[in-house]
Amino acid sequence: MPSTALALTPGLASFLKSLKTNPIDTSIDNLISCASKYLPQYFFEIATDTVARLLKRRQIRHSRSCATATAYLLLRVISACRTTDAAKLIERVQSVGRRLVAAQPREMVVGNIVRRVLGLIRDEAEDDRDAEFALSEASESQPQTPRVTDDPSVPHERDTLSLRHEASERSSSRPPVASSTTTPISMFSLLSHPEPEPSLPGSPVSVSPSGRVLSHGPNKDVRAEVLDGIGEIIDELGQVDDQIAAYALDHIHSNEIILTHTSSTTVQRFLLKAAAKRKFTVIHAESYPNNHEATHATVSGNSGGDEEILSTESFQKPLIALGITVILIPDSAVFALMSRVNKVILGTHSVLANGGLVAAAGTRVIARAAKVHQTPVVVVSGVYKLSPVYPFDFESLIEYGDASKVVGYDDGDLVDQIDVQNPLYDYVPAELVDLYITNLGGHAPSYLYRIVSDHYRKEDISF
Amino acid sequence: MATATATPSKPFDIVATYNDLLRSDPDLTMPIAAIEALVLLLTHSPSSTISETLDLLEKSTTHLKQSIANPIGLSAGTDLFQRYLITTLQRPGQLGPAGDFNAIRAHLLSNGRLFIRRAKESRNKIAAFGRGFVRDGSTVLTNGGSRVVASLLQKAADEKGGPSAVRFRVIYVLSPSKGDVENTSADAEGMETVRTLRSKGVPVATIPESAVAYSLGKADMVIVGAEGVVENGGIVSRMGTYQIGLLAKAMGKPFYVVAESHKFVRLYPLGQYDLPIEQHVLDFKTEEDIADQAGKDNTKQSEGAPEVNMVDASESPLGRSDVVDFTPPHLISALITDSGVLTPSAVSEELIKIWF
């Protein structure tokens, strides 16, 4: 039955397949009407276990795969949860989320997706509650909104790029109106009365964080709305590289020398987009020992092996096919070549709330070398990698990988006598990054807090 | 309320009330004391129209600011209160323009205590947020007598032996105590916190300000308090914080500021000498000036008391230990506030939320 079928899944693709094709999947929908409460419960217990196990064993590794798996799982969890009560949905999602995060605490994107789904549920629940006050709310928040976004919120580091971001943000699916009204006005809550006066529910002062009560009454189908929202998140995950690549021509100019690192598909897509129009040179650091094979494959264009994860990307033409000169260098040559590089473009594993990032080992060396040579460092990353977690302890974020990649176990004498470590990630502080390009546009590292507060609810930061 | 009956005949003295409040409760911060003083003022005032009230508020605030040597922290409270009052009064409803003014007064009074309670609660909230910063085995360098920093460290120390036991050490930078001229035996500011921490089993080293650079190599992070957090994300804090910030930056140590969000001030200082207060820290003198000064003092003393007071006021608007400096935002890694861990650039947004 499903437990064995799912437990043996080797990776993400088969997990997703099993979600879609598993006979129990269709039977759930049929059986729900028979009020069989145990089956859906049983199903997502198993599914959660499977994802947790995949994460733990690192059978799902790439950030995007983890994000996709989480989003699909939550989609199943919510559709199996036959309730319109937002509070129950939140509880359910939180418990699933906690298990996933516990399975792989260093994989930030899992928590990010869970937080976004929680935010979706809360938004829907509050929309229902606020619907009746819509008129008074709208009249009060409309004149306020343009000022909130237009005021120089980052006075000293605001540049044209963040302005451009705002334009794109305004046109994006999340209107700024929502963010300005849903975030509680923190300092005023110090002064306002504890219980919100029922006669003035729409006014900003009475909206204290404690006063937010989720609706319990009969309302429209919160669940359906949330499922739509998760569908949008999944769509976003699918389009994110293309959206980021759309900014490529603004940042890569003719005859520039670009340095990059690892086989990040986001970076490849970005460079390919620019290569369609311009001629430039790419210096590719091979990122030994954890990613060098994939990097070599990316450069040469014959990607073998890991087809399961790179299934769509493996159809991608390599840069050399578009007439771009690609120079593959060992990681140790980065500093020597940095003086000739015009721009460093890096992929990342996750981005933290303070503007720092956790990226493949070797990234910090490159960023540091770029700083010494005053070379701009651009990080391309989907918004889904942006985590509201503050890096209290940098060491705890670093994951260690297979030491045999550095010294093979067949080299017995050496292995016996030395301690080999193979960190997979580096923490790169915000000062070393000049610009982030996300699917919303380009942002200064100091501006990321704003995107964090737009995407995640404060109450969900530690769920 | 007890204070309402205390001075029925005398005109309400906002400055004295403010000072009394600060003295009576050592846990009270300046902005909250200012708010409380203004609430008391309004409950005493006979004003019955909105513009009269706002006018009174404006005048008293100005008066209060002028009479206090360093009004930066205080102005955060008065601004916040003024803003709150305007929003409340303009809002339709019972407390609005059409409402009964006595109701407004009653509302303010009933909330008066609440303000202070919330302000103290926010300290606990910060301690909860900031707990993650004090890691097991870390060494924290701190300075001054900030109550928030003290409560944060104590909270972390309290967990010792609990499920999330944190073993940490503290390097406490002590500056010469207040009024060191008259009372040399007095404890340096922060000595109380040092004792509390030590009693909880936290190893504390106390160093003078001159040893900060020397000791910083042993510290993992710097945590300081602030008197006011300004618009660009910098902080106004006791003298010596700026240099600690510079040193921490130079040594690559994270520099965290702990402050309640009611300390956010609408102020945009461009540098050390752009603060709206007068501090005679730099006082260039030649031998001749000193002789002049001595001569002047002698004549003053023979002339009489009132003028001596005047000279005193102009000479040292601030006591030596009350002087502040400005730590610019690029030295600050993060601000730990009751609304979360903020980057310096997020401060302006918090301020904008209130004002617009």
pLDDT tens digit string along B109-118? Answer: 777 667 777 7
A193-203 in b/e burial notation, b at 16+ Cβ within 10 A? beebbeebbbb
Residue B336 has pLDDT above 70, yes or no: yes
Residue whose C-alpha is closest to residue A342's, from A377, A369, A368: A377
Task: Output the pLDDT for position A374.
Answer: 94
Interchain CB distance below 8 Å, B356 and A144: yes
> Hey, is the C-beta of B93 within 8 angstroms of any chain A C-beta?
yes
Q: Dump pLDDT digits (tens) for B43-68.
A: 777 767 777 888 888 888 888 888 88
Angle at B146 between CA B145 and CA B148, to 5 degrees: 145
Q: Do A210 and A320 have their domain in common?
A: no
* Total number of domains in chain B: 3
Domain containing A254 — which CATH number? 3.40.50.10470
The alpha-carbon gap from A62 to the nearest alpha carbon of chain B, in Å, equals: 28
B145 and B51 assigned to the same domain: no
Residue A330, class by beta-carbon neighbours within 10 Å (0-12 exposed, 13-18 middle, 19+ buried)? exposed
Per the CB < 8 A criterion, the answer to whether B148 and B126 are in contact is yes
Q: In chain A, which residue's Cα lies nearest the Cα of B336?
A: A390
| In a shared domain, residues B251 and B298 | no
B93-106, pLDDT tens digit by residue?
Answer: 655 555 667 777 77
My answer on whether B109 and B150 are in the same domain is no
Q: How far out from the chain centre does Cα B122 lie? A: 15
**pLDDT given at position B285:** 87
Please give the pLDDT value at position A209: 41
Chain A, residues 345-364, CB within 8 A of chain B, namely 353-355
Q: Give, in order, the Cα–Cα distances in Å from B45 to each of B8, B14, B60, B105, B257.
A: 11, 11, 11, 10, 38
B 270-329 → A contacts, CB under 8 A: 329
Query: How do residues B6-28 score in pLDDT, each as one tens digit?
Result: 444 456 788 888 888 888 877 77
Could you tell me if A186 and A298 lie in one domain? no
CATH number, position B168 = 3.40.50.10470
pLDDT for position A412: 76
Across the interface, of A148, A186, A458, the residue whose CB is closest to B261 is: A186
Mutate to test the interface with B, among A149, A158, A182, A186 (most CBs of B within 10 A): A186
| A307 min Cα distance to partner chain B (Å) | 41
Number of Cβ atoms within 10 Å of the Cβ of B340: 23
What's the pLDDT at A123?
87
Statement to judge: residues B157 and B203 lie in one domain: yes
CA distance A113 to A234: 10
ipTM greater than 0.90, yes or no? no
Cβ contact B350–A186 (<8 Å): yes
Residue among A187, A200, A392 minimizing CB distance to B350: A187
Residue A214 sits in the same domain as residue A295: no
* DSSP H/E element including A325: strand A325-329
On whether any CB of chain A is under 8 Å from the CB of B346, the answer is yes
- Give me the residues paired with residue B143 across strands: B173
Q: Are residues B48 and B98 in the same domain?
A: yes
Rounded mean pLDDT of chain B?
A: 79
Q: How far apart are alpha carbons B115 and B33 in whole angstroms?
A: 10
pLDDT at A68: 87
Residues A33, A172 within the same domain: yes
Among the three residues A190, A207, A238, which one is the final residue of a domain in this structure?
A238
Q: Does A198 touch chain B (CB under 8 A)?
A: no
Check whether residue A52 and residue A192 sit in a common domain: yes
CATH code, B72 = 1.20.120
Q: What pLDDT does residue A125 have?
A: 83
Residue A153 forms contact with B (CB below 8 Å): yes
Q: Are residues B266 and B150 in the same domain?
A: yes
Q: Is the confidence at residue B284, as pLDDT, over 80?
A: yes
φ/ψ of residue A283, rounded to 5: -105, 125
Among B92, B93, B345, the residue with its CB nearest the CB of A447 is B345
Chain B residues whose beta carbon lies within 8 Å of the beta carbon of residue A450: 346, 349
Same domain membership, residue B227 and residue B143: yes
B201 and B91 within one domain = no
**Average pLDDT per block of 10 residues along chain A, 463 residues long:** 39 59 39 36 65 70 82 85 80 86 84 91 81 47 37 38 38 37 46 43 38 47 86 91 92 94 89 92 89 84 54 66 91 93 94 90 94 95 90 81 84 82 91 93 89 85 77
Task: Centre a 10 Å sphere on the Cβ of residue A446 and count the other Cβ atoms it contains.
Answer: 22
Q: Do B343 and B217 belong to one domain?
A: yes
Distance from the A144 Cα atom to the nearest Cα atom in chain B, whole angstroms: 7
Same domain, A108 and A53: yes
**Which pLDDT does position A382 carry in this prediction?**
92
* Pair (A190, A286) in one structural domain: no
Option in A144, A148, A157 nearest B345 (CB)? A157
Q: Is A300 in contact with A342 (CB distance < 8 Å)?
A: no
Q: Which amino acid is at B8?
A: P
* Cross-strand pairs, B236: B228, B326
Eight-state DSSP code of residue A34: T
- Residue A151 forms contact with B (CB below 8 Å): yes
Q: How far apart are CA A451 and CA A428, in angstroms?
A: 19
CB-based contact, A183 to chain B, within 8 Å:
yes
3-state secondary structure of A201: coil
Looking at residue A330, what is its pLDDT? Answer: 92
Sign of CA dihedral A215, A216, A221, A224: positive
Residue A186 — φ and ψ, nearest 5°?
-65, -45
SS3 B251: helix
Question: Sign of dihedral through CA atoms A299, A304, A305, A307?
Answer: positive
A346, A388: one domain = yes
Mutation site, B117, B164, B353, interface A, largest A CB count within 10 A: B353
Domain that holds residue A19: 1-238
Strand ranges in chain B using DSSP code E only, listed in sequence order: 139-143, 169-174, 204-208, 221-225, 228-229, 235-238, 255-258, 324-327, 334-337, 340-342
- Confidence at residue A180, expressed as pLDDT on a 0 to 100 scale: 36
Tell which wins on pLDDT, B193 or A394.
B193
Query: Number of folded domains in chain A?
Result: 2
pLDDT score at A36: 33
Residue B308 reports pLDDT greater than 90: no
Provide the domain limits for residue B33.
Answer: 2-123
What is the predicted pLDDT for the residue at A443? Answer: 92
Q: Is A245:A289 a contact under the CB 8 Å cutoff?
A: no
Is there a domain that residue B281 lies in? no
Q: Do A194 and A315 belong to one domain?
A: no
Residues A127 and A274 in one domain: no
Is residue B129 in some structural domain? no
Instruction: With respect to residue B279, please indicate whether it lies within any of the assigned structural domains.
Output: no
